[in-house]
Structure 1
């Protein structure tokens, strides 16, 4: 582990990870950070990044992948530039673009760096969200960034950029959604994959307390039960994964600090669903729990 200067307390816990208690790891995570359901997820992600490997977070929508990436950035004391992938992602979105500027009264062409070039030049983390939303012909532009070379030739300036020490890549993927494409093997093989499950039980309860305005324990417990029922329904094929989004659940918790919980769930979860059958299912669950 010699690619990064890990904070001493994290390095010490990693070296003795087999003998450490879960609370010793979660104590390192700042309030509102991602507390994984299994400490091995945190240990393995930190280990991979500390060895200079790219990490791919795989899991359902709203499971906390972006929050996990932000938590890793904080643990390493590393700023993080972000790329949000879509079918419109192109070289300029990744690397930057040329624009007209003025030096005194003289008009010149300047290059404005993008997230990839910025993170390489400054030696920070790069987060690539929904990486499988990008067109297959776009991402090969950064293959050299993602392998041992850590370099790219900027097509706009012809400059060869070598990533500074500290550069690292975390990406996230939602599989099977409309608009996504399978990652090709050349790209997938450049990552260590970590599967992120939904948070449940006490960890979800703590996340609600840390991340929302809701502070009523009884209502929080009901939301934790609702989330568990939604996750079970998703696993049984009764609901789409969108219905069990932790992000949507947190929105509902926030709203329910000021409006009735059933209405908060309607706005944050139910009305987002496309099918009447799914909306009725969640509405009935809500009525059963919240009365």
Structure 2
């Protein structure tokens, strides 16, 4: 039995745009509910969401029956942590705060098992697990086939990362580069203002540079018009919402439709 094909990685190779949703509530019930909505991918957030290995495992199990592809964002680019996330069933990993090609290369190596002849020339360092009683144990050739389905996304979200973007995007084993608008705006001295003209210009330029390297650009925007702009500019994976923001705003809007409700601010996500 062949290891499952990674549909997200395949879509990136075929240059098909994929629409996603940020999932930060760290709950398998919520993740399954959102998996029924038809998004191409769901980002399970362990950087800014209260996730650990067990909550990530439960969410991966919950969404496995649905077409939405789960992407795990780890809290930090740590080799051992990436190994654990892959072992519990993830195929696609998003690593935050990657500022250099050297960091990107280490993450790519962490995503790959050592192989006698890797077609991409990646010297894999992923550790070998023992007996597998979970998902990957069903596939007898998993350790030989996993590398081809591993998908690494790295986040460029600082001025330094944007300076090194061409080298980061050209790193073998990096499938896509996600530009983090919130952190990038802070790094550019416009904190809380990802729509500042200078930030938007940097993102626009970044998307073109990532495309030129033959890799997939990604981004998050809660503004539908802005999200469509990035798609039109060539972004391949775009998150258009966050579960926490959607829930908070829906609750506020519902309450305010009834008499006696005090005005409350709308949650923006930044």
**TM-score > 0.5, shorter chain as reference:** no
Query: Please, what TM-score do these two structures have when normalized by structure 2?
Result: 0.35
Larger radius of gyration: 1
- Give the structure with the larger helix fraction: 1
TM-score normalised according to structure 1 size: 0.33
